[in-house]
Chain A
Amino acid sequence: MGSVGLYRDEGVVLRTQKLGEADRIVTLLTRETGRIRAVAKGVRRTSSKFGGRLEPFMHVDLQLHTGRSLDIVTQAETITPFAAVLGGDYARYTAGTAMLEAVERLTDAEREPAVQHYLLLVGALRSLAAAEHDPGLILDAFLVRSLAVAGYAPSFDACTGCGLAGPHGAFAVAAGGSVCPDCRPVGSAAPAPATLALLGALLTGDWASADASEDRARREGHGLVAAYLNWHLERGLRSLRLVERV
């Protein structure tokens, strides 16, 4: 940290909230500092020097001033204007918003460095903005990997009870994923083999297989990922039900 509490970092804007007449509180995931909340003064005035640089999705180079409870953004320069692309495509906008909410919830606390989450988020937004894959697949890949980074890696292959090599026909959210016939708790889901294969491909980054997957597997896979995520968070993600599947 530099002199008089000024510091520099790069980050992605996760959320903004109105504050007072013309300010906003901006929640960011930064590379070095982790998740922070900072005040952007005057940002809602159309004459603001920040312009659209502190909108959700924006990837920015920041200068901040350490405050008592909230830091103050003193400068923001655009690194990648993800918001410009994502605001113009509703399916990608809703998928991206679910990513932002997920990463806010999966990073434990403010000011805890979370560089893996950060790199995962920037990579996923880049892929989403470039329309490299179906937005729903990019979202689900991001969610399973973020869960893994947070220490909740699901298994889509070996049994989470005894380690027996898979694939297995049953999936138990509370047990951590795939379960063999012996370990399978009552009420386990019975997803199609193609669905578990897709989720495994998303976790390991095998995009060739994921891109070739069928709609049915994608839909079922998304349901399992959502159930798994909601089980690990105290309350579900608000944006997940609004994600548009194309």
Chain B
Amino acid sequence: MYEGVVQDLIDELGRLPGVGPKSAQRIAFHLLAADPVDVRRLVVALEQVKEKVRFCRICGNVAEEEECRVCRDPRRELSVICVVEEPKDVVAIERTREFRGRYHVLGGAISPIEGVGPDDLRIRELLARLADGTVTELILATDPNLEGEATATYLARLVKPMGLRVTRLASGLPVGGDLEYADEVTLGRAFEGRRLLDV
């Protein structure tokens, strides 16, 4: 244990995802030794992200305005929605340059053991977007793992009465991993080879 403020900093850093106690300590001491100007810049970035960044009112992606960059872009097709779990999946798919439609960010996957059910995700918002018939294809790009698969299964069955074309990224995507770790080539190929879901 360190004294007061240093320990407070280590505790706060240790709360971040992927940062263990040892890393927290290392970052804390790095900051202690760093130039005050550099630290100031970090503080400003942290404050700005909480002040300026919000979630797109249409798709749930991170946005600096009411709507995100993708939803504001008039060149994006309105007939296709790609459903993902997290904003970082949008970034991964945008990198492939394969997809020209819009997104819907669920905010996670159905995970009963963590107490996360369909009502805890942005599924009602998705149904509202599908209501007027503009969207004709739904691409389910949830993670290629069990929870992502179960979430896709649930959504496919839910929208079945709407008569949309519902597709899932090709099974060429390795199972068990996180979407964000797929390289552009594999993910791009998975888009081209997406398969119809029939539940």
Contacts and interface: CB of A to CB of B under 8 A. Distances in A.
Contact of B176 (A15, A21, A50): A50
B181 A22 contact: yes
A173 B184 CA distance: 56
A51 B176 contact: yes
Contacts of A118: none
A21 B173 contact: no
A90 interface: yes
A211 B171 CA distance: 36
Contact of B182 (A46, A54, A89, A94): A46
B174 A97 contact: no
Contacts of A56: 113, 146
Interface stretch (B68-76, B93-101, B148-156): B148-156
B21 interface: no
A85 B126 CA distance: 26
B133 interface: no
B145 interface: yes
Contacts of B182: 46
Nearest to B23: A20
Contacts of A243: 112
Given A21-B18, A83-B146, A90-B150, A44 B113 contact: no
A52 B148 CA distance: 12
B112 A97 contact: yes
Contacts of A97: 112-113
A46 B181 contact: yes
Interface string B145-183: 110011001100100000000000000011111100111
Interface string B56-82: 000000000000000000000000000
Interface size class of A (residues with CB under 8 A): 35 or more
A96 to B, nearest CB: 9
Given A22-B181, A87-B153, A89-B153, A52 B176 contact: yes
Nearest to A27: B113
A116 interface: no
Dominant secondary structure at the A interface: loop
Given A46-B173, A47-B174, A50-B176, A239 B150 contact: no
Contacts of B199: 88
Interface string A28-64: 0000000000000001111110111111110000000
A52 B183 CA distance: 17
A148 B142 CA distance: 38
A101 interface: yes
Nearest to B174: A46
B181 A57 contact: no
B176 A90 contact: no
Nearest to B182: A46
A18 B146 contact: no
A100 B114 CA distance: 12
A46 B177 contact: yes
Contacts of A51: 174-176
A90 B154 contact: yes
Given A44-B181, A98-B112, A90 B174 contact: no
B177 A45 contact: yes
A171 interface: no
Contacts of B20: 20
Interface of B: 17-18, 20, 110, 112-115, 117, 144-146, 149-150, 153-154, 157, 173-178, 181-183, 186, 199
